[in-house]
Amino acid sequence: MAIFKGAGVAIVTPMHEDGKVNFEKLGEILEFQIANSTDAIIICGTTGESSTLTHGEHLQAIKYTIDKVAKRVPVIAGTGSNCTETAVMMSKEAVLYGADALLLVTPYYNKATQKGLIEHYTTIANAVPETPIIMYNVPSRTGCNIQPATAVALAKNVKNIVGIKAASGDLSQIAKMMSMADGCIELYSGNDDQVLPILSVGGLGVISVLSNVAPKYTHDMVMKYLDGDTAGATKMQLDAIPLINALFCEVNPIPVKEAMNLMGMNVGPVRMPLSEMEPANKEKLAKALKDFGLELA
């Protein structure tokens, strides 16, 4: 059984102006997501600024989210690291808190060979053998690409490695992987502008940045496709492209946090080395939000 179908939100981590994590605001946006049909919560991923959270903050955010959501939708905890030992530690803690699944990014900076990726993922999976794992392939950020044969080997040989968040942007690679998988991989789009193409090769949904500002829309788009309304889903995908482009006009999550602030959600600043949005891009983002029909504060 799939971890989820539909749109899972790659949720931001709200901050106070002094840079501390704003857990009260996190609770508010979790309730907003659940009320607006989000199918899963992905906490402490890239969009959640996991790379600049301390280990303590990271684990506290995961625990807070699991407790707040209280099994209303699946909570998928980002526990990946470029240190296998750290990823094992974080994964074990998240499982103790009650995470429904884990999202594990490929090792970054030190990278890994394909053999190293197999050893890395297998070691983490064996440490939490009853918890489903989604591999996260985003080579533009990590410099490390999970090749189709590697992803399929892991999914076939490690019982709790069940899925992949595909954010390579390479649809040919994704199609090749799914042709080799023979149904053993649960596929989720990691790019909001490629949701429908990935659904068309067997995807189950998206782990979405767009869902932070338009959760019901993103959920409905996926469900239209899965329910057979290809034309309706296609129109929704294409209508969302200008906003999606604006949400990625600077490095994620700078624009999506700015968008949420423009909408009055008050999720605060990003942490360095990320910086506040350029004024010209902020204007473009505000226009895209309004053109999409979202109200600004």
Active centre residues (catalytic): 136, 165
Alpha helices, DSSP H, located in 71-144: 84-97, 114-127, 139-142
If you ran DSSP here, which 8-state letter would residue 190 be given? Answer: S
Report the C-alpha gap between 205 and 5 in whole angstroms: 5
Question: In this structure, is the dihedral angle defined by the CA atoms of residues 1, 73, 60 and 55, taken in order, positive or negative?
Answer: positive
DSSP per residue, 131-158: S-EEEEE-HHHHS----HHHHHHHHHHS
Task: Specify whether the CB–CB gap between 151 and 135 falls below 8 A.
Answer: yes
For residue 164 the two structure tokens come to: 């992949």
DSSP label at residue 277: P
Which CA distances in Å does 106 have to 87, 241, 292?
Answer: 11, 27, 34
Q: How far apart are CA 245 and CA 56, in angstroms?
A: 33
Distance, CA of 262 to chain centre: 22
